[in-house]
Amino acid sequence: MDRFDPIPETALDWHRAGEGACLATVIETWGSAPRRTGSQLAISGQGRIEGSVSGGCVEGAVIVEAIEALEAGEARELEFGVSDQDAFAVGLACGGTIRVLIEPVGTVLPEALLADLVAARAARRPAAYVVDLETGTRRLDTDGHAERFRMDRSGFEEGTRTFVTIHNPPLRLVVVGAVHIAQALLPMARIAGYDPVLIDPRETFGSETRFPGETILHDWPDEAVEKAGLDSRTALVLLTHDPKLDDPALLRALRSDCFYIGALGSSRTHAKRVDRLQEAGFSEAEIARIHGPIGLDIGAAGPAEIAVSVIAEMTQVLRQRS
């Protein structure tokens, strides 16, 4: 679970070990650039690396520049692939262009600031590392940048030389109910970038045989949801349409920051669910967070197609919510 690329963590470890470290970040791209803006590479003073800024195309040149920047104690901006010929010379045969910022840890990027970023990532708190390339000021924001966090989009603030690197926790999917839909949904979710957790106190349903290699919790749903955690990067999917199993998890979810709550069942089943929640004291706005019947209306038939509709709706909510 929680598949972070440990690039800031590795840079901090190298720095604290006395080896020296730089963080290289893609700050701008044009054309067929192989890595998106915000992609990072950690480089040690001994030339060790973690991560990538180009999928291997320009890493060699970046390593050389990073070691020189580390010795000089200065930041550097590099640009690769201005023309197709130049791009081919450094390995960008696709003709794309990238700009990379190199920041030595300690002299340019303060150790304390990097440590705060690492701590935020460990606590699953979304964080934005902000650097003003005109003034050299750097800070860590945990508020604001809502659109960037939602879209996982690093980049320059419009009309400025202020670059924002978004560090979002990995996406998680918590599924209650080891049913046929879950057997299709979990592998699909993993392909889409989620770390899935399956919850079902019925061990016959939630078995290793039926869900090989999956993380399965056999606690009662409210306890299991508490153990798994529900935060702003977590989606909760309820698939049993049995109030005894779904409702305990649902009550916890409605008091959490999870970005998506979906519940299987017909319109009639959902209406009964709404009645129970109203009797439990939940407001209309809180109940409206539930997507029920679950999934986009694509005419899905069968477990696999229903799973597709659920993944599609999760993506829509994550990327388009206000």
Do 42 and 50 contact (CB within 8 A), yes or no? yes
Q: pTM of the prediction? A: 0.82
Do 122 and 60 contact (CB within 8 A), yes or no? no
Nearest to 102 by CA among 75, 139, 132: 75
Compute how many other C-beta atoms are within 10 angstroms of the C-beta atom of residue 104: 26
pLDDT in the model for residue 283 = 95
pLDDT in the model for residue 89 = 52
Torsion of CA 57, 59, 65, 66, to 10 degrees: 150
Going through 59-119 in order, the beta strands assigned E by DSSP cover: 76-80, 97-104
Sequence spans of domains, the chain: 7-167, 171-320
pLDDT in the model for residue 54 = 83
pLDDT in the model for residue 31 = 74
pLDDT in the model for residue 32 = 66
Whole-angstrom distance, CA of residue 108 vs CA of residue 131: 11
State which amino acid sits at residue 175. V
Cα–Cα distance list, 77 to 11, 23, 89, 101, 103 (Å): 19, 12, 19, 5, 9
Pairing of strands 138-141, 234-238: unpaired
pLDDT in the model for residue 82 = 46
Whole-angstrom distance, CA of residue 25 vs CA of residue 12: 15
pLDDT in the model for residue 209 = 95
Sheet (strand 290-291) strand order: 215-217, 194-199, 171-176, 234-238, 260-263, 290-291
One DSSP character per residue, 200-263 reads -S-TTTS-TTTSTT-EEE-S-HHHHHHHH---TTEEEEE-S--HHHHHHHHHHHHTS--SEEEE
pLDDT in the model for residue 26 = 95
For the chain (length 322 residues), average pLDDT per consecutive 10? 78 98 94 82 96 83 96 95 51 70 98 98 95 97 92 95 96 96 97 95 94 95 91 95 92 94 94 95 96 95 96 94 58
Candidates 3.40.50.720, 3.40.50.620, 2.70.98.10, 3.30.70.100; CATH matching 171-320: 3.40.50.720
Whole-angstrom distance, CA of residue 105 vs CA of residue 85: 33
